[in-house]
Structure 1
């Protein structure tokens, strides 16, 4: 593949490692920047990329360019995949400011609302939005496993087209879109499950097979859809079902939901939400950019979002306790939230 772009993945954990690793496997010029322990794992074990469809590729440790500081990067990148969590965006943007130039394209790959605008305040680069719809789990010996389906999307820019082509060749669906506002809100609709999964402390598939957890997710989604309707924003369709139908599908009896859900979205039994991982590692979560964004939009539109607001409170309690996921049962969660 002909691509002379220098690509920097800033924040190479599970998502960043997977995105950058697949580009490396496709032969692109990629450098990963991340925590020292991540680099040590890649150096010791190489980087193995697997997915729910059975694909597998392994890069030897010496084939994975890895740095722990932007000061170690040679020159200026053409494209930056910014894959740090929302909570680390400001620090990352300040760090990148001296590294990128006006021709650099920075793709903001975070969950939530307002991340691109936050980054653009600090960088002279071209800042674009991106959406990573799938879950990636860090498994044994530096194996990064894509556990759910979904199409990578980037705000239209010529610089990312070679990357999109490379991902497609590696079996990762990818594309570009011009209007990203519907994409961002459509993704948020699906991301409202992150906090529920983090509080439950069980794999995504197990959680979604429990109707009580789904009832809570349905309520969260209906609050967001009501606020979006009032704001005249139409969220993008990111699953096989249109957004307005998804909350009602969640309320179906288990046997019927399982039949329909299999057609909507493939989920690996290993998959969990990134917010669960944050709680387990005693890190701040992205709740401000997810459920709190629903609360704020509802307020702006003269509405309320009480279920989302209570979920924000529970996540903040879990963060403060420093004990990881509280492992709330579905019945306990229903009694606290509905």
Structure 2
């Protein structure tokens, strides 16, 4: 089985690197600027539980034309903003039997890819954890979570490999509920990006949690109106916003598992702001706004959060470092 990772950033490098470590034939499509670093350092995969893997040799190319045989499986791990272009490039390269797994935040990336790739060749995937890309190829997974993919027999070797290397992974049938559940949790991405502090520090402050809870309530109301179920681990989705607004002392007891994350972990949107890249806020909070508009319900908090992120993008100064009290006054 041959696997191509299209978009070997933090997430693509991590889940693809894990497959490579497990013995799968993996090639990484990377930018020209990344080739020298990969050849010098390879990948160094770590996680919050103590995983420590060094991959000194990482097969990489800078163009699909450098890959002699189309892959059996493509892990499409570009940002939502890059899906359309990536799908266009892949459409002329993949074989009729290739399966492309769309691993994006938010919802709708598979629909975008389906404009140029036959829908029967597309599958959805969900990575629940964040990965920070450090120096010398260091990729660090800071939080727990099960990687999920749409059920398909072709993917069984990948699931086995991920689980064997230490990344919990499983197949599921109702991926719509999984995608919306991931989006519900990903609403913290923007809050964390605006705060500019590690996630555990952010979630330890009630006012930040109040803003996140407001955004979640809007999404849950829109989903209920649309008749869409939500799948998240451990806690019923409807309860989560109420847990978030508990006083700090009680939240720390009730939601201790939520705070049991690496002290370095931050959201990918924070990293986008720091690196002066376009964020995925349109596909996260923007997706809430779009669904709410279709259902005729309010999404005021998500709209204000999206406006603040766009302002930070335009300023080009990284995270604005908004305090919890400031964010409450701007959003609630």
- Shared topology, TM-score over 0.5? yes
Find the residue that maps to 2:106 and give its secondary structure: coil
Q: How does 1:234-253 map to 2 (within 5 A)?
A: 234-238=229-233, 240-253=234-247
- Look up the SS of the partner of 2:133 in the other structure: strand
From 213, 216, 221, the equivalent of 1:221 is: 216
Cα distance in 2 for partners of 1:39, 1:166 equals: 25
How far has the Cα of 1:273 moved from its partner? 0.5
1:17 to 13, 19, 33: 13
- 1:103 maps onto 2:97 in alignment: yes
1:160 paired residue number? 155
8 Å Cα contact 1:149-1:265 kept in structure 2: no
What RMSD over aligned residues (CA atoms) do the two structures have, in Å?
Answer: 1.1
Identify which range, 264-273 or 128-137, moves more after superposition.
Answer: 264-273
Offset of residue 181 of structure 1: 0.6
* Other structure's SS at 1:237 match: coil
The number of residues matched between the two structures is: 331
1:1-338 matched pairs, under 5 angstroms: 5-60=1-56, 63-124=57-118, 126-238=121-233, 240-264=234-258, 266-338=260-332
- Deviation at residue 265 of structure 1 after TM alignment: 6.3
Deviation at 1:264, TM superposition (A): 4.4
Uncovered stretches (5+) of structure 2, i.e. residues with no partner: none
Cα distance in structure 1, aligned partners of 2:44 and 2:240: 34
Indicate the SS of the match to 2:14.
Answer: helix
How far residue 42 of structure 1 moved from its aligned partner, in angstroms, is: 1.9
Unmatched tracts of structure 1, length 5 or more: none
Is this contact kept in 2: 1:148–1:265, CA < 8 A? no
Q: State the secondary structure of the residue aligned to 1:163.
A: helix
Change in Cα spacing, 1:244 to 1:263, as seen in structure 2 (3 Å) is same
TM-score calculated relative to the size of structure 1: 0.96
Question: Could you state the TM-score of these two structures normalised by the residue count of structure 2?
Answer: 0.97
Displacement of 1:257 in angstroms is: 1.2
